[in-house]
Amino acid sequence: MDDLAGRDPSSWLARLRRRAELRARAGLRRELAYRNAEDDVLDLAGNDYLGLSRDPRVVEAACRAARRFGLGATGSRLVRGSTAVHCELEAAAADLLGQPAALVFSSGYLANLAAVAGVWSPGAVILRDAHAHASLVDACRLTGACVEVIPHNDLAALRERLAAHRGRPLMVVTESVFSVDGDLAPLADLHPICRAAGAILVVDDAHAFGVLGPDGGGAVRAAGLADRPDVVVTATLSKALGAAGGIVAGPAEFIDHLTQTARTFVYDTALPPAVAQGALAALEVARNSRDLRDSVTRRARAAAGFFTREGFVVPHPPGGGIVALCAPSAESAVRWARECRMRGVTVGCFRPPSTPDEISRLRVTVSMALSDDEFTRAVEVIASCGRLVAANSLRYDGRFADADPIGTANGVFAGNGSVR
């Protein structure tokens, strides 16, 4: 029996300790990594794509709002938490996304829970991409609906399963830029399939909003799907805008429905006005900074090309600001990230169950807070540390030689690629 209950009042704690030991042995233990305001590392782990979290215009806007409204929102949006700032942010986000209306949540996670629950209806079938974010996975589960997982970006499989459920309410759930590998969903091809089957398409545009599309309006808008009555878009304010919070955007009737019924909106304390004001300022900077937005994707593609030439496996060409690098094991991924940190570079370390295919990765996220020289140096450090970990892995456990996930068997680590 694997439940946590038992006759001994402390038996559940012993079971938790056992589970912790198993995670540690598998290299899956997570550690909180604290940073201070003066941290001088080269950050390729965070999601501050445009470098706006410390932009003076953004910070000053947030400070002005904090002096006016105080630290917190003091209540839920329907009680005391709504301000004119929230209204302005919603209008600006809807306009940038090309949607009729939008609603601000205190996090992107809560926005996804609300969007999926709001679209769902009794008897509905949800078809979810296999690489969808954990918040979308949870959102689908919480509806209690029949949920089918579709192989990643497999339009033929999606078409087949939609046909199998013809006559039932249908919803398709995906990301636009996938958060682990950074590849793009084929939205322009996906939507006609959904429309033909009468399915509503829910797209998490978190990693595209502020970076891709006209004026940074996201991948949904870039695919020509803005203002479609059968498309719902979610996004975060915590990636390209460097703030916090989430957005659901779509038809006005749907946004009104969420205002009345979404539990993660009705019963949650509102996003602080200062954060909303900072996000609004960041949105305007992003909208008016085409060169800055274009530089994110340009850097990501250059880095992906460099890593590929150096023999590393990049599972997908980057569609936005994410470059993924396959690692041979969870333990090696941890060592790789640790070596980078010791040399002044932070990079994301993704291990199961955070990876959709059980393959551990390092995730490099572009930040325009770094200069060109700093970004080049950071990418070179990552490659150097990868070679070091590969050599140690070959010597001690042979895992690289067995799976050859980053090209060690071909002896290509001495490459001389350039990220410029």
Asked if 128 contacts 149 with a C-beta cutoff of 8 angstroms, the reply is yes
pLDDT in tens, 360-406: 999 999 999 999 999 999 999 999 999 998 887 643 333 333 333 33
pLDDT at 309 over 70: yes
Q: What pLDDT score was predicted for residue 4?
A: 52
Mean pLDDT to the nearest integer, 135-164: 96
Mean pLDDT to the nearest integer, 308-315: 95
Q: Which of 188, 190, 207, 180 is nearest to 320 (CA)?
A: 207
Q: What pLDDT score was predicted for residue 393?
A: 66
Give residue 420's pLDDT band: very low, low, confident or very high (50, 70, 90): very low
- Integer-rounded Cα radius of gyration of the chain: 22
Question: Is domain 56-287 given the CATH code 3.40.190.10 in the classification?
Answer: no
Longest CA–CA separation in the chain, Å: 64
Give residue 29's pLDDT band: very low, low, confident or very high (50, 70, 90): confident
12 vs 234: which has the higher pLDDT: 234
Question: 290-410 maps to which CATH number?
Answer: 3.90.1150.10
Q: What pLDDT score was predicted for residue 417?
A: 39
Q: Would the pTM count as exceeding 0.85?
A: yes
Instruction: Provide the residue ranges of all domains of the chain, joining segments of one domain with +.
Output: 56-287, 290-410
Give residue 5's pLDDT band: very low, low, confident or very high (50, 70, 90): low
Give residue 411's pLDDT band: very low, low, confident or very high (50, 70, 90): very low
pLDDT at 101 over 90: yes
Mean pLDDT to the nearest integer, 217-245: 97
Asked if 281 contacts 82 with a C-beta cutoff of 8 angstroms, the reply is no
Full DSSP string of 202-246? EEE-TTTTTTSSGGG--HHHHTT-TT-TTEEEEEESSSTT-S--E
pLDDT at 252 over 80: yes
Q: What distance, in Å, lies between the first and last C-alpha atoms of the chain?
A: 56
pLDDT in tens, 39-77: 889 999 999 999 999 999 999 999 999 999 999 999 999
pLDDT at 8 over 90: no
CA distances from 77 to 90, 223, 264 (A): 13, 32, 11
Percent of the chain with pLDDT over 90: 80
pLDDT at 415 over 80: no
Mean pLDDT across the chain, nearest whole number? 90
Mean pLDDT to the nearest integer, 64-92: 97
Query: Pairing relation of β-strands 199-204 and 246-250?
Result: unpaired
Q: What pLDDT score was predicted for residue 358?
A: 82
Q: What pLDDT score was predicted for residue 386?
A: 94
Give residue 33's pLDDT band: very low, low, confident or very high (50, 70, 90): confident
